[in-house]
Homo-oligomer: A and B are copies of this chain.
Amino acid sequence: MDKKINLSESQMPTHWYNLMADLPKPMQPALHPGTKQPLGPSDLAPLFPMSLIEQEVSTQRWIEIPEAVQKVYRIWRPTPLIRATGLEAALETPAEIWFKWEGVSPAGSHKPNTAVPQAYYNAKEGIRRITTETGAGQWGCSMAYASAQFGLSCTVYMVKVSYNQKPYRAAMMRAYGAECIPSPSDRTASGRAALEADPDTNGSLGNAISEAVEDALNDPTAHYALGSVLNHVLIHQSVVGLEARKQFEIAGRWPDVLVGCCGGGSNFAGFTFPFLPEKLDGSKKIRLVGVEPAACPTLTRGKMAYDFGDTAGFTPLMRMYTLGSHFMPPGFHAGGLRYHGMAPMVSAAVEQGLAEAIAVPQLETFAAGLLFAKVEGIMPAPESCHALRAAIMEAERCKREGKKEVIAFNLTGHGHMDMSAYNAYLDGKLSNNHYDEAALVESLKHLPEVK
């Protein structure tokens, strides 16, 4: 059998899959942060185009992928499904290990899967500029790339400490024609306030979100874009799992376990949810495993409750697993997984028993990444190393139990711009930073009250 299962462009999905159509119990609506009443479309209109607001609340199972979006997807999609034969051999496992390789996209991760439709819908509704924030820089690069495809300007507020630590990411956004601004900046009132409070601040994702939202609200030709958490983002990412389904069909396999890392939840949802209909109707068995960093254990230690998406409390209240919007996880290198909440749709899937979650410590994720680089060649992003680590744990379990299961994980991106993190690991400078247990207990006591 081939090592890689490739699809032709004619086999690409023409529709995205929306789990909201199939969830046994419907999701609770998002609430207005002030009134705490269910959010209406008009509440979101200053920030998002109507097509995305409709997708946000849609219970349609299939949502058509516009032809213009498919055309851009074809630049790198379909992505290959690859059998990690080298890893199987290294682990001496009877299991098969497969991975969906999303790092082949221009920006190097799965993020363009939603950046492209977001840019498209905004351009179609007459918007001229996108504002967004970025932490590690993967999302900023993706939105910069997607904006260029549809002639939009793009302004990215990048957390200042990342801006300084990852100059290549900022350079890539710039090369795609976007403006990348270290946050906090003097461009916005919230930025100026943060700088006044502490001129030497490192910045935070919460503050960068505030700046991007404020910038969009002050410019009628601009909209804001978010790279995870929201329903429409998860829906767009379903293109990953839909392709993987077809590829497993070609390989004559049905996976036993699907693994994805969980930060906001979009890659995990996109990769795994398209396999749920058969689990829901009982015709097939499949396990969905979400993997989070032990230092930020939203699904495994958080509470299912209404909470804000940001630190300042500007965003709607969403019902989700959360560590509390003021909870401050310790620093670690998988910046894309350092978020206090979890996508409401992923939270619902876990609450309803469709998916499970585990947390893994940082050091073993880097060890997994280095093993993978040696035996499969690809240098995975630190976030992707979490999924990889959990896939290895499943393969080790299969070895102990003598089971020939089919394990698949989503390899969300390459680590070409994260080599300093690998260097730090090899230099013995990393540890399994633990969060502050007392602070977490305290944080969970003070979630917003909602009747």
Interface residues of A (CB under 8 A from B): 2-4, 6, 8-10, 74-76, 82, 86, 104-108, 112, 145, 148-149, 167-168, 171-172, 174-177, 370, 373-379, 414, 416-417, 419-420, 422-423, 426
Nearest CB on B from A87, distance (A) = 11
Tell me, in angstroms, the Cα distance from A237 to B142 when the chains sit together: 32
Residue of B nearest to A75 (CB): B377
A108–B75 CB distance below 8 A: no
A420–B168 CB distance below 8 A: yes
Residue of B nearest to A82 (CB): B75
Tell me, in angstroms, the Cα distance from A105 to B378 when the chains sit together: 8
B-side contacts of A6, CB under 8 Å = 6, 8
B-side contacts of A75, CB under 8 Å = 3, 82, 86, 376-377
How many chain copies? 2
Nearest CB on B from A241, distance (A) = 21
B422–A175 CB distance below 8 A: yes
The residue among A107, A108, A112, A374 with the most chain B CB atoms within 10 A of its own CB is: A374
B171–A419 CB distance below 8 A: yes
A374–B171 CB distance below 8 A: no
Nearest CB on B from A383, distance (A) = 16
Residue of B nearest to A141 (CB): B379
Which 3 residue pairs of A and B lie closest in terms of their CB atoms, listed nearest first? A106-B377, A171-B419, A168-B419
Tell me, in angstroms, the Cα distance from A74 to B148 when the chains sit together: 33
A167–B423 CB distance below 8 A: yes
B106–A104 CB distance below 8 A: no
- Other-chain residue from B172, B379, B414 in contact with A379 (beta carbon distance below 8 A): B172
B420–A176 CB distance below 8 A: no
A171–B373 CB distance below 8 A: no
B168–A377 CB distance below 8 A: no
B417–A148 CB distance below 8 A: no
Tell me, in angstroms, the Cα distance from A76 to B103 when the chains sit together: 13
Tell me, in angstroms, the Cα distance from A149 to B86 when the chains sit together: 9
Question: Taking A3-B9, A370-B175 as contacts, is the C-beta distance between A377 and B419 under 8 angstroms?
Answer: no
Tell me, in angstroms, the Cα distance from A375 to B177 when the chains sit together: 11
A168–B416 CB distance below 8 A: yes
- Other-chain residue from B177, B370, B416 in contact with A108 (beta carbon distance below 8 A): B416
Residue of B nearest to A146 (CB): B377
B379–A106 CB distance below 8 A: yes
Residue of B nearest to A86 (CB): B75
B-side contacts of A376, CB under 8 Å = 75, 106
B419–A172 CB distance below 8 A: yes
B-side contacts of A106, CB under 8 Å = 373, 376-379
B-side contacts of A2, CB under 8 Å = 8-10, 74
B-side contacts of A104, CB under 8 Å = 104
Nearest CB on B from A83, distance (A) = 10
B-side contacts of A419, CB under 8 Å = 167-168, 171-172, 175, 417
Tell me, in angstroms, the Cα distance from A176 to B372 when the chains sit together: 10
- Other-chain residue from B167, B174, B426 in contact with A175 (beta carbon distance below 8 A): B426
Residue of B nearest to A6 (CB): B6
Tell me, in angstroms, the Cα distance from A379 to B144 when the chains sit together: 13
A176–B422 CB distance below 8 A: no
Residue of B nearest to A9 (CB): B2
B-side contacts of A422, CB under 8 Å = 171-172, 174-175
A374–B148 CB distance below 8 A: yes
B-side contacts of A145, CB under 8 Å = 377
A167–B8 CB distance below 8 A: no
Tell me, in angstroms, the Cα distance from A301 to B142 when the chains sit together: 42
B377–A76 CB distance below 8 A: yes
B4–A374 CB distance below 8 A: no
B74–A4 CB distance below 8 A: yes
Residue of B nearest to A177 (CB): B374
